[in-house]
Structure 1
Amino acid sequence: MIFHRIKSDVVAHLSYFIGSGTEAMVVDPQRDVDVYLKLAKESGVHIKYIFETHRNEDYVIGSKELSHYTDAEIYHGPWPDFKYGNTLKDGQIFKVGTLRVEALHTPGHTPGDMSYAVTDLQTGDSPVLVCTGDTLFIGDTGRTDFGGPEKRREWSEKLYESIHNKLLSLGDHVLICPGHGSGSVCGGKIAEREESTLGAERLMNPVLQFNKEEFINLKVEEEHQYTPYFKRMEKYNLEGPPFMGLSPYVKALSPNKFKEYLDKGATLIDSRPPPAFGAGHIEDSYSIPTARLAMGGWVLPFDKPIVLIVGNQSDVDYISRSYARMGFDNIEAYLGGTIASWYKEALPVKTMSMITPHDLKQSLDEGKDWFILDVRSKEEYESGYIESCKNIYAGLIPTQLKEIPKDKPIAIYCKSGTRSSFVSSILLRNGYKNVHNMLGGMTSWIKANYPYSK
């Protein structure tokens, strides 16, 4: 049996390449499909089937792209009314070499979710693994809010039934292959490890310890964010996205040519670490470090060029691929070399104030009137926060600027300083002057043994 897990870091997306003999299947392929073509070549197989677990909301599915190159048949669940591929029936069986693949309808995250139980007939007649998509994660289960408040309870009940009646009944020994890992917005508390079994989840997954009514109430009350770019993903993954072809081509530009792009209204991403951004950046740029590229989904446009400042030219391909997976095909150029080339042309540079937890604590103790902004999620905030802070999640800042005063110094913090740098850049773009990004975030504050509330 051939098995490969492929991870796309930007949204913690997990896809799977599974094969036997000269045949293979791919579950939930990412948009840039060269990794699967390479695996097929190296493994001496052809890709026979492409299985989708559901209509994804956070990334562009690569099914049509991969089928274009391989002639593989595409299959997905009964909801929504897909404009491509084939609709599965619950219990439908497929053969991939000596593997038996059973499609299981496991609604809940959406009404059309499918899971795929894989049995290796060379070793027995029980499943060895199941691809669960966003129905069951390691340490969590899928969110149930995409149908709106009126569908929340119904979808949550379906999710409970799918997990307990369809998945857990496959056997404790069965490996679980979820659609996302830690960091995905499709779950709340997905574990960092990427290996588990149904038995381990039955025993240790906190959400599976509740009875049916408790589970439903938990899912109904969960709070999740809906990032604006999701709308584009839903459309692409219903109708099929534009053809991508080769990896994105992004032009290297001289400082003056780069400035021409900016003068014409291009959106600028500065992907360097927060201290580098603070030390010197181009006016109106977004601070989106490579570790937090998904934050771009809150602010980036689809309809005008996006250009990059990078700390290392090797980051260009990673950034452009990552954003292409999120549907942004408009990453057009980057500043060649480093930002030093911009400085050397005597082009204007802005700075952003940074503050350490020690300096902030001392200033507070001296009585200075700070507006302290916590930009973490509600769950993170409730685990411990600096006294008298205001909690607004980073992605919501553009729509809640009226909550943030301009007549006070603002100290912004997150867990480590990356999301707070993003928010700092948003405030600077909106005319705020006295903005300070707290380096090290709440992690550093706690390690300094400074007081915090819960």
Structure 2
Amino acid sequence: MYFQHIYDKSLAQGSYFIGCQKAGIAAVIDPKRDVDTYLEIAQQQKMRITHILETHIHADFLSGSRELASLTGAQLYLSDEGGPDWQYEFEHIGLKDGSQIELGNLTFEVLHTPGHTPESISFLLTDKPASDVPVMLFTGDFVFVGDIGRPDLLEKAAGLKGTQEIGAHQLFTSLKKFSALPPYIQVWPAHGAGSACGKALGSVPSTTTGYEMVRNWAFRFQQDEEGFVKYLLADQPEPPKYFATMKKLNKENRPLLTKVPTLKALSNDELLSALKKGYKLIDTREKSMFAAGYIPGSINIQDNNSFNTWAGWFLDYDTPFILIAHPDQLDQLTRKLMRIGLDNVLGYIPDINEWVKAGGVPERETVISIDEFKELYHNNGIQLIDLRGATEYHSGHIRKAENVFVGYLPDNLSKINKEKKVVIHCQSGDRATIAYSLLAREGYKNILNFSGGMNKWLEGKNPVDQG
């Protein structure tokens, strides 16, 4: 058997290339959309990709299954569980609990493991030349390292009311299937630390069934279903806005993108024309560079592992947008965007220099130190906005700080005072610079960014309130 774990750090998402070397054929589980990665592996290993498997209809990324099938002719093996509302709307081979998939000398057995979503399945792999017992379990968003999939996304992200409690009870039942497996089976989930698909995912890529029975919190509630449900639904992070769109696009027919696009370099005239049309300008530079001088109206989303998540919060799927990015960054940025279906990139400019030469006047971000913040804070003449998630805020915040999560900021501008100084902060400054740029775009002139945030506040052993 040939096995390779492919991990996308930007979405903390894992996919898998599994091949039978004797037969020269391979399967890919939960592929990302820039599928050239799998084609290269297949070429290197002299294998044909003949099977494409998915664990469920994903919410956090746009699956590349159909792109990969289009390029390779491979068959799609997808869940037919979950009822009529959870059926894929394009051609595929349907899988039910107990279905078996043969891949040369390898066999995948399907386990229906609902809870995260009604149609979720896991794949139990037996490598027959090596053993007649299963050796690997691909769990998707069912069981993670140290955590389990969240059942509240359908309700919070897709607006399907009343589904989170049902999903939580389904997960409790599904975990009994997991508990019945031998303790030596390797567990390979679809996500790791940093994913919004759970609240406490571990940072190592894999685990075993036995290890999770010992360390995973979910198995401490095996005799307490109501306690399990209550704990599972509490303190889940805010689901990114784009999740609802992913659910829709991963279920239905959609346009395919079978190669990574090449972005067009825009002239200054093209840039100005696009800005007049209201197209958003995403400045991917590091936050200190943005603070030193930025094009008015631009939004600072730095090119880091969270880039596509925040882009998914603040960009829509119908309106073109523009990037400020160095040419060396473009391939990775384009990949990150296409992984969540943000294909509507009009083009890019490499920096703000041409805009300045043409007469543009940059604006500067007002960033304050902790000493400046303390002086303002103790004079009590400011509004203090904590931009972190609700769970972070409740675990410890600066007294009198109001919590407005940065992802919800565009819908809560009425909560931001326009008459007096407003100090914004997050944990370490990245979310605060996004918020500053969003508020400046809306015409706020009274915003101060305490960029050091809670890290700097706690470093000085300053007091915090909880709850």
Fold match by TM threshold 0.5: yes
| Cα RMSD, aligned residues only | 1.7
Tell me the residue number matched to 1:5. 5
Q: Which residue of 2 aligns with 1:200?
A: 211
**Is 1:324 aligned with 2:338?**
yes
Rounded Cα–Cα distance in structure 2 between residues aligned with 1:299 and 1:15: 26
Amino acid at match of 1:424: Y
Give the equivalent residue in structure 2 for 1:75: 77
CA shift at 1:205, angstroms? 1.6
Indicate yes or no: 2:375 matched with 1:362. yes
* CA distance in 2 between partners of 1:441 and 1:403 (Å): 20
- What is the CA–CA distance in structure 2 between the aligned matches of 1:217 and 1:364, rounded to whole Å? 37
Q: Is the 8 A contact 2:145 2:204 kept in 1?
A: yes
Query: 2:149 matched to 1:142?
Result: yes
Alpha-carbon distance in structure 1 between the residues aligned to 2:128 and 2:323: 50
Q: 1:45 maps to what in 2?
A: 47
Is the Cα contact below 8 Å between 1:60 and 1:241 reproduced in 2? no
Deviation track 1:305-345 (CA, whole Å, cap 9, x = no partner) reads 110112x3222221221111111111121113x22333233
| Cα distance in 1 between the residues matched to 2:346 and 2:4 | 32
Candidates 46, 65, 85, aligned match of 1:63: 65
Matched, 1:314 2:320: no
What are the residue-to-residue correspondences of 1:327-338 with 2, within 5 Å? 327-336=341-350, 338=351
Q: How does 1:31-430 map to 2 (within 5 A)?
A: 31-78=33-80, 79=82, 80-84=86-90, 85-145=92-152, 146-147=154-155, 148-163=160-175, 165-210=176-221, 211-291=224-304, 292-293=306-307, 294-310=309-325, 312-336=326-350, 338-365=351-378, 367-430=379-442
- State the alpha-carbon separation in 1 of the partners of residues 183 and 455 from structure 2: 37
Contact preservation (8 Å) 1:409, 1:436? yes
Q: What does 1:430-445 align with in structure 2 at a 5 Å threshold?
A: 430-445=442-457
Does structure 1 conserve the Cα–Cα contact (< 8 Å) formed by 2:322 and 2:348? Answer: yes
Structure 1 equivalent of residue 20 of structure 2: 20
Which amino acid letter does the alignment assign opposite residue 206 of structure 1? W
With 22-31 and 208-217 compared, the bigger mean Cα shift is at: 208-217
- Residue 386 of structure 1: how far off its partner (Å): 1.2
Q: Confirm or deny: 8 A CA contact 1:354 1:437 kept in the other structure.
A: yes
Deviations 1:361-411 (A, max 9, x none): 23323x142211111111211222111101121111111111111112122
Give, as a single letter, the amino acid of the residue that structure 2 aligns with 1:168.
Answer: S
Contact 2:71 / 2:258 at 8 angstroms: preserved in 1?
no
Pairwise CA distance, 1:191? 1.8
Residue type matched to 1:116 in 2? Answer: F
1:4 Cα deviation from its structure 2 partner: 1.5
Structure 2: distance between partners of 1:236 and 1:110? 16
**C-alpha distance in 2 between matches for 1:442 and 1:272:** 23
1:450 aligns with 2:462: yes
Shift of 1:222: 4.6
Shift of 1:15: 1.0
Contact 2:433 2:449 in 1 (8 A): yes
What stretches of structure 2 of length at least 5 have no aligned partner? Answer: none
Matched AA of 2:145: I
The 1:437/1:193 distance shift into structure 2, 3 A limit, reads farther
Conservation of the 8 A alpha-carbon contact between 1:286 and 1:422: yes
The one-letter code of the counterpart of 2:2 is I
Letter matched to residue 28 of structure 2? V
Contact 1:54–1:114 under 8 Å retained in 2:
yes
SS of the aligned residue for 1:208 comes to: helix
Number of aligned residue pairs? 450
Unaligned runs of 5+ in 1: none
Deviation at 1:93, TM superposition (A): 1.4
**Does structure 2 retain, via aligned residues, the 8 Å contact 1:249–1:332?**
no
SS in 2 for 1:433: coil
Q: Give the distance between the partners of 1:201 and 1:355, measured in 2 at CA.
A: 45
Residue 131 of structure 1, CA deviation:
0.8
- C-alpha change, 1:122 and 1:444, in structure 2 (3 Å) is farther
Please give the secondary structure, in 2, of the residue aligned with 1:127.
Answer: coil
Moved more, 407-416 or 252-261: 252-261
Q: Which whole-Å CA distance do the structure 1 matches of 2:414 and 2:447 have between them?
A: 15
Higher mean alpha-carbon deviation, 298-307 vs 209-218, is at: 209-218
Aligned partners of 2:181, 2:225: CA distance in 1, in Å?
19
